[in-house]
Chain A
Amino acid sequence: MSDHTPSTVPSQGDGHGAQVATMHEADPIADPGVHPHQWRPTDVDERAAKRAERQVASLFGLSAVFAILFCVAYFTLEIGDNHDTFLGMGASTVALGTSFGAALLLIGVGIIQWARKLMGDQEIVEMRHPAHSTDEDRDKVLADLKTGIEESGIVRRTLVRNSLLGAVGMLGLPAVVLLRDLGPTPGQVVGEYEGAGLEHTLWTEGMRVVRDVVGTPIKASDLEVGDLVNAEPAAIFETDEHGEHLIEGVELQIAKSKAALILLRMEPDDITPGRGRENWTVDGIVAYSKICTHVGCPISLNERTTHHLLCPCHQSTFDLADSGRVVFGPAARALPQLPLAVDEEGYLVAQSDFTEPVGPSYWERG
């Protein structure tokens, strides 16, 4: 194979302009030229051509039939109530889709069949031209540019030029400043509503821990060992005298996105309390933020035997018996723990807000 290895020539490629690659110098086999045209049956046999014509026309005709079927389906088939009558999607969708699809496909196949069988099929040759302009054109453009620039005096009159550049540059400021009101800064929202800001949630001292969805408060004795409860702060369910929710809409979504809580009851002996967290649990019940410290998915999957909690998004796994430590996955921080207590009626309450920001890490978090 040695004589088939590449030739080594002094570094090539300082060439200018755009030559077109040619291979004639070294072509071991001469170009036999474009293959001569061959006639198709439909070119030489009028009967075959007529047959093809009828075939193509039938495809188009059939397409029209499907277009009408589409309209029939549109007006006769119900949607909405029986959305899963057929293939789990509703007869209307299936019928409309197949008839519309068939009408389109038949036109497409017909046209291509027409092109292949009946349209002239002689290959033709067109010459290429290099992408660049002719040298005269290039020279003329350069000369014109030079004249124009000289006549403007933009090179000579530096004062005019520089002050213009400065002024146009300054216009960048309004353009950027105008975007300032896209949103408040993280600092500005603090105190604007309950639990606002990156470092706060709705939880406050004495706030009851209530069940997700239904909003009922929880007694320690309600939970068996191994029970996992999705919980929220009671404030989310508070209503005014007319039964209207106090927190709703955006505020509700924001509140839920930070305050969501996981309660787990385990054998008190299984718990390895963190330093200073010895009294954060109630009868083996621990409370952790439900918001993953990776990029913020709500966590949901519990492994009963190990007290491990798995995030369904990227599988970070946290040990709820050990201060929410990360045992696996891309998350870098333990789940924030909520200090629990019981109020005088025996219901679970928070001792305070979370002692650190919940959710994903960010630059200023420290």
Chain B
Amino acid sequence: MDTTKIASTNGTTAATTGRPSPLAGVGTWADERLGLATAMKKQIRKVFPDHWSFMLGEIALWSFVVLLLSGVFLTLWFTPSMAEIQYEGSYDQLRGIHMSEAYASTLNISFDVRGGLLMRQMHHWAAMLFIAAMLVHLMRVFLTGAFRKPRELNWVIGGVLILLGIVEGFAGYSLPDDLLSGTGLRIADGLVKATPVVGTYMSFFMFGGEFPGELIIPRLYIAHVLLIPGLILALIAAHMLLLVYHKHTQWPGPGRTEQNVVGYPLLPVYAAKAGGFFFIVFGVCATMGGLLAINPVWKYGPYDPSKVTAGSQPDWYMGIAEGLLRIMPGWETHIFGVTISWNVFLPGQIAPVALLMMVLAWPFLEAWVTGDKREHHLLQRPRNAPTRTAFLAAMITAYGLLWAAGGNDILALKFNLNLNYITYFMRVAIFVVPVLVFFLARRWCISLQRHDNEVLLHGYETGIIMRSPEGGYSERHLPISTERAYSLTARDRDVVVPDPQPTDGQGVRDKGYPVRKLRARLSQGMFANNVQKPTTSELEEAHHHAEHEHELEHASGMDRPADGHQFDGHADHTPDEAPLRGH
């Protein structure tokens, strides 16, 4: 095929034009004032590697933009006031009822501003998407080891962003001042009051007096529309700057090394894909906002501290705090005339933060144990870090269990189970099941590693069953392509720290011994059972063996990939000859 005449837009020399283009004119004007060219010369064609999982962070970014846009729209009508008024809007069922201005203005946005309900629902759906995408993005970064040096700071920034996102979501959820959000605030008040020593003071300072007071909604409002979004924006900016500075990680593969980055240039391909993706996220939020009802506050009614609805549930991202609160036994200590509410303080304040901190601290633990000070830009497959992967699997399990515990009343109702038994089960399960999952996941990773080695040494399973002259059956294995074999072996060998000596050569006790020993033990626990990639000689030996078999089978035509055409005379091409990429 003749491809010589095709103009490739990836050429290295700029197209020359006859007369100066308007673009160049504007560029010169700007550069003479801003000196942009120096700053941008490396950025315009900056390379971004491509992989579906790199999109998750992008979803979070774009849903934040949707939140900004829809949120600003909502501020044009929302009134953050708890002053009592009588509702006189379009919604019949509540007309004449006394309620706060915040609730009335939310009804107003929903029923008297065209597109208002759409924007409210878009805003709420985008919030769900924002937090969900951040969590899944965190899992991707964790599972692939993308948090390793030099990206630890971005890891921490990401963790803070998740925390801020959740707080921001809770603040937003509280603004409409409906029965559900008021109940949520009341629970928050109970959590704050359980703080040792200063709990009641914190509560009175937050609410401007006794709960519910009339200040909490204006205060949450300014936090929701200015303070927290400002922080989130600043952290996202830092996150992105570091991303650009470090350059994106990439999967190992042919030509992809620790020293380079292979992919498409920012302009045009990456910019187009990212820009297009923004419209898709925006469009998905709009469609969901139009078709899927969320938080129909008019059905709940205005907040009344003496009322509650059965089956009341917070937004899903509060689910684990909810689950923790529900399964905690009612422990409280009365001592020296004071009360310590373990039953509220532990699950409500300590445990959720502790769980997040454990995940956030893992990279630092891992770096300490391995003692690895090198930069890492190639990602690891989850199976190649079995302990790490298993740890996250255990954390996800704990998350899921707590989430289920947070809906124990709904589970009991839907599956006709006894609520008390679900709770007792959860109290045990939360400690036992994640541990089981940890060991299972680790074993699973290790068998996947073994499988990789099988494929490397003996080829892949073709599905062709062969019968030997003796009558035995065996499956035909064919070697995998060099590119795939390279990708599979492009990983470090794990290094295990050996047990240290309690004394040095002269018999003097080593003061750092216990710490060293801990590190050695952790290292052995984390890496000793991992399967390492085959050595050069093992590979050679295996291939030698395979070639021998190959010769024997050549006559039978069994040495080609199984594409279904081995026997019908159409087996005339191999994948390597495939002329065009199909998409």
Contacts and interface: CB of A to CB of B under 8 A. Distances in A.
Given A28-B539, A295-B325, A360-B344, A127 B197 contact: no
Nearest to B191: A295
Contact of A257 (B186, B322, B450): B186
Contacts of B348: 295
A67 to B, nearest CB: 12
Given A10-B498, A31-B254, A128-B247, A96 B115 contact: yes
Contacts of B282: 104, 108
B344 A40 contact: no
Nearest to A77: B114
Given A124-B264, A362-B194, A362-B199, A41 B580 contact: yes
Nearest to B5: A44
B283 A363 contact: no
Contact of A29 (B183, B211, B450, B485): B485
Nearest to A98: B290
Contacts of B1: 39, 44
Contact of B246 (A41, A131, A257): A131
Interface in A182-211: 182-186, 189, 196-198
B19 to A, nearest CB: 25
A183 B329 CA distance: 33
Contacts of A128: 247, 258-261, 377
Contact of B197 (A17, A115, A363): A363
Contacts of A326: 330
Nearest to B310: A312
A196 B213 CA distance: 12
A256 B375 CA distance: 60
A330 B330 contact: yes
B498 A20 contact: no
A265 to B, nearest CB: 20
A230 to B, nearest CB: 7
A330 B306 contact: no
B514 interface: no
Best-surrounded residue of A8, A33, A94, A117 (most CB of chain B within 10 A): A8
Interface residues of B, number: 172
Contacts of A230: 306
Nearest to A88: B293
A298 interface: yes
A39 B322 CA distance: 54
B255 interface: yes
B121 A93 contact: yes
Interface stretch (A78-86, A218-226, A343-351): A78-86
A88 B296 CA distance: 10
Best-surrounded residue of B46, B111, B215, B290 (most CB of chain A within 10 A): B290
Interface string B257-282: 11111111100110011011111111
Given A5-B532, A112-B276, A182-B208, A83 B111 contact: yes
A4 interface: yes
A257 B495 contact: no
A93 B90 contact: no
Interface stretch (B30-38, B350-358, B486-494, B503-511): B486-494
Given A19-B374, A39-B1, A98 B193 contact: no
B253 to A, nearest CB: 8
A257 B212 contact: yes
Contacts of B347: 330
Interface stretch (A145-153, A166-174, A247-255, A269-277): A247-255
A363 B205 CA distance: 16
Contacts of B114: 74, 79, 92, 96
Contacts of B279: 104-105, 107-108, 111
B371 A185 contact: no
Interface string A1-42: 101111111111111111111110011111111110011110
Contacts of B494: 6
B59 interface: no
A122 B47 CA distance: 11
Contacts of A122: 8, 10
B278 to A, nearest CB: 7
Interface stretch (B162-170, B220-228, B232-240, B331-339): B331-339
Given A294-B344, A332-B330, A366-B334, A123 B264 contact: yes
A180 to B, nearest CB: 9
Contacts of A182: 205-206, 208
B409 interface: yes
Contact of A359 (B190, B340, B482, B500): B190
A108 B277 contact: yes
A59 to B, nearest CB: 10
Interface in A94-127: 94-98, 100-112, 114-117, 119-127
Contacts of B254: 31-35
B326 A330 contact: yes
Interface stretch (B393-401, B523-531, B563-571): B523-531
Contact of A20 (B280, B374, B580): B374
A295 B532 CA distance: 53
Nearest to A236: B306
Contacts of B343: 294, 330-332
Contacts of A360: 189-190, 193-194, 341, 344
B149 interface: yes
A21 to B, nearest CB: 4
Contacts of A264: none
Contact of B330 (A183, A257, A316, A363): A316
A120 B286 contact: no
Interface string A279-312: 0000000000010001111111100000000001
Given A80-B90, A331-B343, A102 B287 contact: yes
Which 6 pairs, one residue from A and one from B, show the smallest C-beta to C-beta distance? A97-B290, A13-B371, A295-B190, A120-B9, A34-B255, A108-B279
Given A23-B490, A101-B285, 20 more contacts: A7-B532, A8-B497, A23-B492, A80-B112, A101-B286, A112-B272, A119-B9, A119-B269, A120-B10, A121-B269, A124-B265, A125-B47, A253-B305, A256-B305, A295-B186, A312-B310, A329-B326, A330-B330, A332-B332, A364-B200
Interface of A: 1, 3-23, 26-35, 38-41, 43-44, 74, 79-81, 83, 87-90, 92-98, 100-112, 114-117, 119-128, 130-131, 179, 182-186, 189, 196-198, 212, 230, 232, 248-250, 252-254, 256-257, 260, 290, 294-301, 312-316, 326, 328-333, 359-366
18 contacts: A11-B519, A19-B375, A21-B258, A32-B482, A33-B255, A39-B581, A83-B117, A101-B288, A102-B283, A120-B269, A124-B262, A131-B245, A183-B205, A295-B189, A312-B310, A330-B344, A361-B194, A363-B195
